[in-house]
Each structure stands twice: as structure tokens, then as C-alpha cells.
């Protein structure tokens, strides 16, 4: 006789008497936050950090800004003052007349914009795209001497009245939109505008960008009168004020009283809230328009990729912007993957280096860390950063404040705000932070990095 009934206790019923093993709440937003770990942190008293530098001559950002209506692109007249010969020209009518004489031109990849050895006959403003500057190398090969991209310009020597020749060949690396001002159009305006003639005739060469010179003598013999000198400082140094991230955490007293076993609900709410604050903190250090690294790199420290994807050649040029003791490279994970693809296609295998007990990919011995806070545009373009860090090395430093009232963790304050008439407990969670670039060559950025 076969028994068909249940012979033992079923698992569904047994589970009613079993203890369920539970995890603390998990959070996908939490990342490794390498930037927060790698930056050396300085505590500014008074909530502000002043960066004193030697006196420098700054004459604008050097890039021209444009506006467009559909496919029609025009230069903003006041932006023409970024061209060295026009700096200081404040006559709006003259600038508007000059801007109106620029003609839009479209280039396809491979088109030659100017040829080496030919006279400079046009002022060229690059509205969009990338231009490669090519020269003849010492042994007859073609060498790339630089890249020009959105906002750059060439041919401003036309305004000086000289007749120089192009020292390079400019070739479109991508589809480009440029605005050109011909010599004939410029001379016609010069003839009709005494204000422009007066400005160009009376223009003194600006001192240029850079630090004020310290006079000294070297290599002399005998009793030579030595020059006297002093080191001048910037009269209005930049001050970085600490920014903050705050939120109010609310927990109902019934939850805090009755549902704290085996996991403390209030502690977990605080833990996840603090994790979110730290993620926002790293995001602000990268993207904040006032102090974020992507917006505070000097324009002379920004370079573009040669062809789109981040190649080993591009990474070499990026390291050349911070050649004095680069500490690390920071990039979006997809940008690091794109760099890995380029290395694989060339049969290159970057070395791994030890960083805090972990093996990470490096280039030329400089470790490369992922950071998902670096944005990727809708067109699949992102940026890569390299930096030197620390006050002693005149690098990039993080700014924060520790020793706060009701400090829960170093630099994070959790203040009890009371219980309202709905029996809800409130806590104010705060953290203060910023970052500073001590000298321009401490931070370099590779722009227009294509990850597709």
C-alpha cells in the first residue's frame, strides 16, 4: 500500500518559527568616492581659504564666444576683445561692425583651412569642431603641433599691419564651423573707422599672461652691480568660502521606539543620509560652477583629444599639462574603458600600481581612478582630469571643517532639532566643504573625450 499523504513538516509552516536573517538597507548610489579619499584636506579657520599667488597678468580667458540662430552662427561683438590686438577696445559700434564682417564657413574632416608658408589673409574664429595644427618635422615627416577647438582663434596678426606667413598647416580633424574675416573686409572697415585706427596705432603690446618677473643676475664675473628686486603679489587674491550640503532627517517616534530590533532604524537612516551627503559632496567638488574642478582648470591647461577616443597619445599630452609630480588621473568609468579599448587595439597593456592596498590601472606610473561624477554629454563626450595635490606641492587641496558642534563623524554634524506635534523627530545633518587649485598648472583636463 502506497502512502500519498505528507510525511513531515513542510517548509512553509516551519518558516513561521524560523528567524529571518536580514541585511542593513543597501544603497546603489554609494560609490568608492576616490576623490574624497585622495585629496589632502585642509581646515580653513573662519570658513574661508585665501590663495595668495605671485602677481600675474591676466587679460581675459582667450576664448571667443558665439551665438547661433538655427545653423547661422555669429560672434558676440564684445568677445572680439579676446583677440590680443583688440584688447581694451570698448567702442561697441566698432566691435559690432567688425563682427558683422565675419563670414561663416563649413569644413569637412580633412579640409585644409590654411597652408604653411602662405601669407596670413584671414582672421579665423573657430565656432565648433577641432582643427589640427601640422608642421614639417625635423626629418621630413608631418608632425602635429597642437589642436584648436571651440572658441579658439588664429590669424590675429592681420590686425598688426604686418604680412606674416602661416607657420603651420591647419586641417579640420572633425566637421567644423568657422568664421573668417578677410583682409579686404578688414581694410575697408579700418578706412571707415578712425576709432579702430586710433586704437591699433596706440596699442601697446600687453605684458602677456604669466607671473611678474623677478630680476636677477647669473653667470657674471667680477664686481658686477647686482639688480635689486622684490616679489609682487596679487592684490586681490581669490578666497574660497566653504560650501555646504544639508538635509533634515525625520524619524517617527513610534518607529524609533518599537522597530529598532534587531537593526536600529535611526542609525540606518542616518547612515544612508550621510552616504547621500558624501556622494553630493564629491559631485560638487567636480561640477560646482564656483569651485568645482571641471570649471576651475585654467584654459591653458585644457586640451582636446586628437580623434575623439582617449588614446595613449592623448594621455601623454594630458600628463604634460601637470608634468610636475602628477598624483592621479580621474575619469568616468566609461572613459577608462574607452582608453582600455584604445590600448588593446595597439597591443599595449598599462601597468597596475599599488594604491592604498589596491591594484589599479596606471599610465606612465600615474594611477587612474574611476569617478562617475564626471558628466557624460548626450553626444557621448566626457572629460579626464590629472592633478597634483597638497599644499607643499602647490597642488589641489580639499577644504573642510572638523570639530563641529554635535559632530557625528569627522566633518559631519547631526543636530537634534526636536519633536513636533506629530511625534516626528528631526535631525539637521550638515557637512562643509570646498576645494582650491593653488597654482594653474596643478590641474589639467582632457576635453571632448569620446566614449562610444
Chain segment 279-299, per-residue pLDDT in tens:
999 999 999 989 999 988 887
Residue 155 lies in a domain: yes
The pLDDT, as a whole number, for residue 399 is: 96
- The answer to whether residues 343 and 308 belong to one domain is yes
- The answer to whether residues 290 and 428 belong to one domain is yes
Q: Which of 136, 130, 181 is nearest to 157 (CA)?
A: 181
Instruction: Map residue 281 onto helix, strand or coil.
Output: helix
CB 397 within 8 A of CB 41: yes
Residue 336 C-alpha cell reads as 577608462
Query: CB atoms < 10 A from the CB of 16, how many?
Result: 6
- The answer to whether residues 199 and 244 belong to one domain is no
- The answer to whether residues 303 and 196 belong to one domain is no
Residue 87 lies in a domain: yes
- The answer to whether residues 349 and 423 belong to one domain is yes
How wide is the angle at C-alpha 444 spanned by C-alphas 438 and 447, nearest 5°?
140
- The answer to whether residues 264 and 124 belong to one domain is no
**String of DSSP letters for 334-389:** HHHHHHHHHHHHTT--PPEEEETTEEEEEETTEEEEE-TTS---TTSEEEEEEE-B
State the total domains in the chain. Answer: 2
CB 385 within 8 A of CB 445: yes
Q: Structure pTM?
A: 0.76
Q: Which of 433, 431, 437, 435 is nearest to 400 (CA)?
A: 433
Q: How far apart are CA 99 and CA 101, in angstroms?
A: 5
Q: How far apart are CA 251 and CA 429, in angstroms?
A: 13
CB 217 within 8 A of CB 224: yes
Domain boundary among 163, 193, 208: 208
- The answer to whether residues 118 and 198 belong to one domain is yes
Q: How far apart are CA 175 and CA 105, in angstroms?
A: 11
**Is pLDDT of 413 > 60?**
yes
Q: What Cα–Cα distance (Å) separates residue 394 from each residue in 46, 300, 402, 439?
A: 22, 17, 23, 6
Q: Which of 390, 382, 398, 366 is nearest to 294 (CA)?
A: 382
- The answer to whether residues 43 and 81 belong to one domain is no
Q: Band the pLDDT of 3: cuts 50, 70, 90.
A: low
Residue 344 lies in a domain: yes
Q: How far apart are CA 332 and CA 138, in angstroms?
A: 38
Q: Which of 162, 435, 444 is nearest to 302 (CA)?
A: 444
- The answer to whether residues 185 and 263 belong to one domain is no
**String of DSSP letters for 18-29:** SPPP-PPPP-TT
**Is pLDDT of 232 > 90?**
no
Domain boundary among 208, 230, 256: 208
Summarize the confidence of residues 234-254 as an average pLDDT: 91
Summarize the confidence of residues 125-130 as an average pLDDT: 86
CATH of the domain at 203: 2.60.120.10
- The answer to whether residues 261 and 200 belong to one domain is no
Share of the chain above pLDDT 90, in %: 50
Q: Are strands 358-363 and 366-370 parallel, antiparallel or unpaired?
A: antiparallel
Q: How far apart are CA 353 and CA 363, in angstroms?
A: 9
Residue 296 C-alpha cell reads as 576651475
The pLDDT, as a whole number, for residue 230 is: 67
**String of DSSP letters for 287-344:** H-TTT-HHHHS-GGGEEE-SSSS--HHHHHHHHHHT-SS--EEEE-HHHHHHHHHHHH
Q: Band the pLDDT of 217: cuts 50, 70, 90.
A: low
Q: Band the pLDDT of 1: cuts 50, 70, 90.
A: low
**Is pLDDT of 252 > 80?**
yes
Q: How far apart are CA 279 and CA 224, in angstroms?
A: 61
Residue 215 lies in a domain: no
Of 16-25, 193-202, 205-214, give the range with the top mean pLDDT.
16-25
The pLDDT, as a whole number, for residue 78 is: 86
The pLDDT, as a whole number, for residue 2 is: 60
Domain boundary among 157, 185, 208: 208
Residue 305 C-alpha cell reads as 583629444
CB 396 within 8 A of CB 293: yes
Judging by beta carbons within 10 Å of its beta carbon (0-12, 13-18, 19+), is residue 131 exposed, middle or buried? Answer: buried
Residue 3 lies in a domain: no
Share of the chain above pLDDT 70, in %: 93
CB 107 within 8 A of CB 176: yes
Number of H helices, E strands in the chain: 10, 27
The pLDDT, as a whole number, for residue 66 is: 84
Instruction: Map residue 286 onto helix, strand or coil.
Output: helix
CATH of the domain at 316: 3.90.1690
Domain range for 75 is: 66-208
The pLDDT, as a whole number, for residue 4 is: 72
Residue 27 lies in a domain: no
- Dihedrals φ, ψ of 202, to 5°? -95, 5
Instruction: Find the helix or strand (DSSP H, E) in which 407 lies.
Output: strand 407-409
CB 292 within 8 A of CB 285: yes
- The answer to whether residues 121 and 255 belong to one domain is no
Judging by beta carbons within 10 Å of its beta carbon (0-12, 13-18, 19+), is residue 85 exposed, middle or buried? Answer: buried
Instruction: Find the helix or strand (DSSP H, E) in which 428 lies.
Output: strand 424-437
| Mean of all residue pLDDT scores within the chain | 87
The pLDDT, as a whole number, for residue 255 is: 93
CB 398 within 8 A of CB 388: no
Residue 231 lies in a domain: no
- The answer to whether residues 152 and 279 belong to one domain is no
Q: Band the pLDDT of 328: cuts 50, 70, 90.
A: very high
Summarize the confidence of residues 108-135 as an average pLDDT: 88
Residue 335 lies in a domain: yes
Q: Which of 281, 278, 303, 292 is nearest to 384 (CA)?
A: 303
**b/e string for 159-190 if b means 16 or more Cβ within 10 A?**
beeeeeebebbbbbbbebbbbbbeeebbeebe
Q: What is the pLDDT of residues 30-85, one digit of tens each?
A: 999 999 999 999 999 888 999 998 876 545 567 888 877 667 888 888 888 888 88
Amino acid at each position: 500500500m502506497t502512502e500519498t499523504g505528507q510525511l513531515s513538516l513542510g517548509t512553509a509552516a516551519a518558516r513561521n518559527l524560523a528567524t529571518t536573517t536580514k541585511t542593513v538597507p543597501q544603497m546603489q548610489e554609494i560609490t568608492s568616492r576616490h576623490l574624497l579619499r585622495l585629496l589632502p584636506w585642509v581646515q580653513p579657520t573662519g570658513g574661508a581659504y585665501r590663495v595668495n599667488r605671485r602677481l600675474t597678468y591676466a587679460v581675459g580667458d582667450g576664448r571667443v564666444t558665439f551665438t547661433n540662430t538655427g545653423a547661422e552662427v555669429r560672434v558676440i561683438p564684445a568677445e572680439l576683445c579676446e583677440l590680443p590686438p583688440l584688447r581694451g577696445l570698448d567702442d561697441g559700434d566698432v566691435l559690432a561692425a567688425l563682427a558683422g564682417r565675419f563670414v561663416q564657413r563649413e569644413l569637412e574632416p580633412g579640409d585644409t583651412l590654411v597652408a604653411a608658408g602662405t601669407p596670413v589673409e584671414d582672421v579665423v574664429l573657430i565656432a565648433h569642431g577641432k582643427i589640427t595644427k601640422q608642421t614639417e618635422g625635423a626629418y621630413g615627416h608631418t608632425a602635429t603641433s597642437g589642436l584648436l577647438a571651440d572658441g579658439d582663434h588664429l590669424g590675429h596678426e592681420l590686425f598688426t599691419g604686418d604680412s606674416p606667413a602661416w607657420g603651420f598647416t591647419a586641417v579640420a580633424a572633425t566637421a567644423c564651423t568657422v568664421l573668417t574675416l578677410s583682409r579686404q573686409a578688414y581694410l575697408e572697415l579700418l578706412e571707415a573707422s578712425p576709432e579702430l585706427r586710433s586704437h591699433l596705432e596706440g596699442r601697446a603690446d600687453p605684458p602677456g599672461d604669466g607671473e611678474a618677473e623677478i630680476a636677477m643676475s647669473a653667470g657674471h664675473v667680477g664686481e658686477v652691480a647686482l639688480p635689486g628686486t622684490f616679489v609682487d603679489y596679487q592684490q586681490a587674491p581669490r578666497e574660497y568660502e566653504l560650501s555646504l550640503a544639508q538635509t533634515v532627517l525625520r524619524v517617527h517616534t513610534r518607529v524609533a521606539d518599537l522597530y529598532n530590533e534587531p537593526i536600529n532604524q535611526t542609525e540606518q537612516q542616518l547612515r544612508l543620509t550621510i552616504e547621500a551627503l558624501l556622494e553630493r559632496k564629491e559631485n560638487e567638488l567636480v561640477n560646482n560652477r564656483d569651485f568645482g574642478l571641471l570649471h576651475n582648470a585654467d584654459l591653458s591647461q585644457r586640451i582636446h583629444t586628437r580623434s575623439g577616443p582617449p588614446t595613449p597619445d592623448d594621455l601623454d599630452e594630458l600628463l604634460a599639462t601637470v608634468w610636475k609630480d602628477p598624483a592621479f588621473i580621474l575619469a568616468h568609468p566609461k572613459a577608462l574603458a574607452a582608453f582600455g579599448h584604445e590600448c588593446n587595439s595597439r597591443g599595449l597593456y598599462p601597468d597596475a600600481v599599488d594604491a592604498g592596498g589596491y591594484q589599479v590601472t596606471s599610465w606612465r606610473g600615474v594611477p587612474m581612478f574611476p569617478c562617475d561624477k564626471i558628466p557624460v554629454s548626450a553626444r557621448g563626450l566626457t572629460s579626464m582630469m590629472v592633478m597634483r595635490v597638497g599644499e607643499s606641492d602647490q597642488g589641489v587641496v580639499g577644504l573642510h571643517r572638523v570639530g563641529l558642534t554635535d559632530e557625528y563623524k569627522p566633518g559631519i554634524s547631526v543636530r537634534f532639532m526636536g519633536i513636533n506635534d506629530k511625534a516626528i523627530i528631526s535631525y539637521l545633518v550638515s557637512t562643509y566643504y570646498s576645494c582650491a587649485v593653488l597654482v594653474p598648472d596643478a590641474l589639467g583636463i582632457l576635453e571632448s573625450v569620446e566614449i562610444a
